[in-house]
Amino acid sequence: MGEKVEELEYQSGFGNHFSSEAIAGALPHGQNSPLVCPYGLYAEQISGTSFTSPRKLNQRSWLYRIKPSVTHEPFKPRVPAHEKLVSEFDGSNSRTNPTQLRWRPVDIPDSPTDFVDGLFTICGAGSSFLRHGFAIHMYAANKGMEDCALCNADGDFLLVPQSGRLWIETECGRLLVSPGEIAVIPQGFRFSIGLPDGKSRGYVAEVFGTHFQLPDLGPIGANGLAAARDFLAPTAWFEDGLRPSYTIIQKFGGELFTAKQDFSPFNVVAWHGNYVPYKYGLQKFCPYNTVLIDHGDPSINTVLTAPTDKPGVALLDFVIFPPRWLVAEHTFRPPYYHRNCMSEFMGLIYGSYEAKVGGFVPGGASLHNCMTPHGPDTTTYEATIARANEMVPSKITDTMAFMFESSLIPRVCNWALESPVLDHDYYQCWIGLKSHFSRLGIDDEVTDDGVHKQGKAL
């Protein structure tokens, strides 16, 4: 059975300094940590950047809560351990692989499985301890988290539900996230996920040592792509009273630890700051595209980026391929064949992807690693070429594909390479590509032994 959900109010904007109070007058005025806060609340700050980060990059929020988050028993390793969650990609749990890889959708388990137990890592690079890298996970769950909350000390989570809504309780308030929307839970926030539809499946990107932000627009100018106003932050909401036993699950270095406490962590009555969970509806994205000839780079579809210190090079970009018009003339409109210094992990939320006709389905995934060639399958290529003389404006509809793109080379987890949903025949989608090379107009010579010699153009 699904869980009942209620209408929620949100605050609009990306990177704004928000303030919200569930009880009027709960926010202190004049200073952040007065000797006695209104209503006897505790003041607590959560910092997403170093204290001395430049002002324009500094992220932190003040929370005013009934009891502080420090009030819990010592952390202990979670039993049983989660053996398919990784934040250290050192080769002991994962392997390099340049082959084009594709996975079919995983089945949602029959046995009771919440978001934490249904989360598993596909690939990643770097180290959460070294504060540089990323991990890509998927999840499949059939029940909400009960009397427990997850806190990711390793990095930000970007959640992309593909099937089934997510009811996310956070310390700043609640988010209802449907397929076609995304949510970001910044590093360190405690959150719990319920499943209003009873089951859910989707994708998760995690970044270490940095945070997601809106990409610079460059020559595009002031408008386009994802607008700051369309990102929604929660409003303050809190739970009061004691709980017989509440569990905090801490993700730390890819391992899970648990601590017991006697109250809900969602006891924040008021808060203010610019370090908050948020959500975004992908249908609000304003795509840009070529309007005469040739094919735009996928970077023009970037929703969020987690940058590195090198300008223009991303630790991880979140890129979407939404419904849009195709109008380029004398142009091969599907994605062209290419090799890329970036590594590309793709998923499909709904519909079909324009470059893959059959094998890439909603809930599935593919990985084309650094400099591994890829592009449209044989069927797509042949169908496109056959319509070369009928090139008219056309619209891609009813689709939402996405890509996690990184400058790092991910290792693939052992279980992902050994998974029963790994498509071992993926390479076959290109094997049928044939030569269309024509020597018409060339003065050729064929020797007696059948060897072709190219002559001069007539």
Query: In a 10 Å sphere around its CB, with 0-12 CB exposed, 13-18 middle and 19+ buried, how is residue 450 labelled?
Result: exposed
Residue type, 115: F
Q: Distance between CA atoms of 173 and 169, rounded to whole angstroms? A: 6
Q: Distance between CA atoms of 256 and 211, rounded to whole angstroms? A: 22
- The first and second tokens of residue 12, run together, are 């609009």
Q: Distance between CA atoms of 77 and 238, rounded to whole angstroms? A: 28
Q: Distance between CA atoms of 167 and 175, rounded to whole angstroms? A: 6
The CA-atom distances, in angstroms, between 259 and each of 73, 99, 194, 368 are 5, 42, 20, 39
Of the chain, the end-to-end C-alpha distance in Å amounts to 74
- The first and second tokens of residue 69, run together, are 């988050």
Q: Distance between CA atoms of 323 and 350, rounded to whole angstroms? A: 11
Q: Distance between CA atoms of 237 and 175, rounded to whole angstroms? A: 11
- The first and second tokens of residue 71, run together, are 């009030």
- The first and second tokens of residue 101, run together, are 């890889």
Residue type, 209: G
Query: In a 10 Å sphere around its CB, with 0-12 CB exposed, 13-18 middle and 19+ buried, how is residue 453 labelled?
Result: exposed
By annotation, the residues acting in catalysis are 295, 338, 344, 368, 374
